[in-house]
Amino acid sequence: MPVELTPSQALGLWHTVSLEQVRVDGRDLTLRQMAILLQIYLVPPPHTVRGLAATLGVTKPVITRALDTMGALGLVDRVRDERDRRNVVIKRTVDGALYLEKFGDLIIDQGRKQPK
Amino acid sequence: MPVELTPSQALGLWHTVSLEQVRVDGRDLTLRQMAILLQIYLVPPPHTVRGLAATLGVTKPVITRALDTMGALGLVDRVRDERDRRNVVIKRTVDGALYLEKFGDLIIDQGRKQPK
DNA sequence: TCAAAAAGAAACGCTTGCGTAACGGTCCGC
DNA sequence: GCGGACCGTTACGCAAGCGTTTCTTTTTGA
Burial of A93 (0-12, 13-18, 19+ CB in 10 A): middle
In a domain, B1, yes or no: no
The answer to whether position B2 is within a domain reads no
pLDDT beyond 80 at B7 = yes
**Considering the domain boundaries, does residue A94 fall inside one?**
yes
Report the mean per-residue pLDDT for chain B.
92
Q: Residue A116's pLDDT is what?
A: 65
Is residue A56 assigned to a domain? Answer: yes
**Residue A89 β-bridge partners:** A79
Q: Are B57 and A91 in contact (CB under 8 A)?
A: no
Model confidence at B1: pLDDT above 80? no
Can you give the residue range of the structural domain that contains B96? 7-113
pLDDT tens digits, A9-55: 999 999 999 999 999 887 788 999 999 999 999 999 899 999 999 99
DSSP label of A77: E
Give yes or no for residue A97 having a pLDDT over 70: yes
**Residues 6 or more apart in contact with residue A44 via CB below 8 angstroms:** none
**What is the bridge-based pairing of β-strands A76-80 and B88-92?**
unpaired
Number of domains in chain A: 1
The answer to whether residue A9 sits within a structural domain is no
**Residue A95 domain flag:** yes
* pLDDT score of B96 more than 60: yes
Long-range pairs for A79-85: beta carbons < 8 A, 24 or more residues apart: A81/A46, A81/A48
The secondary structure of chain B as a DSSP string is: ------HHHHHHHHHHHHHHHHHH-S----HHHHHHHHHHHHSPSP--HHHHHHHHT--HHHHHHHHHHHHHTTSEEEEE-SSSTT-EEEEE-HHHHHHHHHHHHHHHHHHHH---
**Nearest by CB to A14, which of B12, B28, B107?**
B107
Question: Is residue A48 domain-resident?
Answer: yes
Question: CB-based contacts of A24: which residues, under 8 Å, 6+ apart?
Answer: A106
pLDDT at B39: 96
Q: How far apart are alpha carbons A21 and B30 in whole angstroms? A: 12
Q: Is the pLDDT of residue A83 over 70?
A: yes
State mean pLDDT over B62-67.
Answer: 96
CB-CB under 8 Å, A114 with B3: yes
Q: Is the pLDDT of residue A1 over 70?
A: no
Length of chain A: 116
Chain-wide mean pLDDT for chain A?
Answer: 92
Provide the H-helix boundaries in A1-116. 7-24, 31-42, 49-56, 60-72, 94-113
Q: What pLDDT is stored for residue B27 in this prediction?
A: 78
In a domain, B35, yes or no: yes
Q: Which of B35, B103, B116 sits opposite A1 (nearest CB)?
A: B116
- Among the listed residues B34, B88, B31, the one whose alpha carbon sits nearest the alpha carbon of residue B64: B88
| A residues 12-31 closer than 8 Å to B (CB) | 12-15, 17-19, 21-23, 28-31
- DSSP 3-state of A7: helix
Nearest-CA residue relative to C1' of D7:
B86
In contact, B52 and B90? CB cutoff 8 Å:
yes
Q: What is the CATH number of the domain that holds B69?
A: 1.10.10.10
